[in-house]
Amino acid sequence: MCHYRSRMASPDLNLLVTLEALLEEGSVAGAARRLRLSPSAMSRALARLRAATGDPLLVRAGRGLVPTPRARELRGRVGQLVQDGTAVLRPDAQVDLARLTQTFSLRTSDGFVENFGPALIARVEREAPGVRLRFIPKLSRDSGPLRDGSVDLETGVVGPATSPDLRAQALFRDRLVGVVRKEHRLGRGRVTPARFAAGRHVLVSRRGLEGGPVDEALASLGLTRMIATMVGGFAAALALARATDLIATVPERHSGNLRTGMKSFPLPFPVPEITVSMLWHPRTHADPAHRWLRGCVREVCGASAPEPR
């Protein structure tokens, strides 16, 4: 009795595939051909099924086999179980967007929502009306929210502080530009390094550092600029530049809509470009809904980069 209980507690689920083949073929030889087994191996499998179910399942009638009432009862159920099990073990390549109901949290750099949010929301609403996007400001480079699952996707610049276990893909390259109000003196005439450095500047620094690539480039020319004030984001810098004579230096694409009505100009000295990427945790890499969201972000940002490693 104990031996019987032990076997029943841990059934061999592989037998479900065998049972389905036997019930559909109605013969040991046909089921053996279907599963590419020898007739003797299939006969042994049928014996195990009879022991497991306590029913003969297939009985001889003339020269063939006919199903028992229990076998007829099991036929539909077994087929569905095998289909469901196969689906579980197969990569899920599709998602029913029309029925998808999910909220995705996106942690984005300053300016992303203002420039890419409207197009992204429109794209998502068109394809998956049941999906909501929750935008969270990226106030630090800490990757904890992606690791703990409170954030689904993040945008920003990949740097030394970025956790190496995250997946990343470039969205677009950006460059820094100078921005002033329309009436500013730099809005007229050629902007030279000396004219640029002579103005009063608003510095964007989330970490409170008094300097950056612009100051390094000016230093190589023997110039320094006067930092009149510091803010934590591009939107704040542009708001100050719009209402004062301060000069803001911001990424061109990331601040497109925020610079409407202002005068923008290329920096008169070389500064390294910025690569804006999206990042996500490996646990969501194969999820079809997450893959669809990443595709939406890529297309809205105009990126054509292939899927990452």
CA distances from 297 to 96, 130, 226, 289 (A): 18, 17, 38, 13
Q: How far is CA 241 from the centre of its chain?
A: 35
Contact 267, 192 (CB under 8 A): no
Can you give the pLDDT at residue 3?
Answer: 44
Domains of the chain with CATH codes:
2-88 (1.10.10.10), 102-174+275-300 (3.40.190.10), 176-272 (3.40.190.10)
Q: At what angle do helices 14-25 and 28-35 cross, to 10 degrees?
A: 130
Can you give the pLDDT at residue 90?
Answer: 60
Alpha carbon distance 16, 52 (integer Å): 11
Q: What parts of the chain have a pLDDT lower than 70?
A: 1-11, 76, 83-93, 208, 303-309
CA distances from 9 to 3, 6, 66 (A): 10, 5, 29
Alpha carbon distance 94, 299 (integer Å): 18
Can you give the pLDDT at residue 267?
Answer: 96
Can you give the pLDDT at residue 309?
Answer: 37
- What are the φ/ψ torsions at residue 70 (nearest 5 degrees)? -65, -40
For the stretch 15-18, contacts whose Cβ atoms lie closer than 8 Å and that sit 24 or more positions apart, written own/partner, are 15/45, 15/48, 15/49, 15/52, 16/78, 16/81, 16/82, 16/85, 17/82, 18/42, 18/45, 18/46, 18/49
Can you give the pLDDT at residue 8?
Answer: 45
Can you give the pLDDT at residue 10?
Answer: 61
pTM over 0.75: no
Instruction: Please state the length of the chain.
Output: 309
Can you give the pLDDT at residue 93?
Answer: 60
Alpha carbon distance 70, 53 (integer Å): 9
Q: pLDDT tens across 130-189, in order?
A: 999 999 988 777 777 888 888 999 998 887 777 777 889 999 999 999 999 999 999 889
Can you give the pLDDT at residue 137?
Answer: 87
Can you give the pLDDT at residue 215?
Answer: 94
Give 166's DSSP letter: S
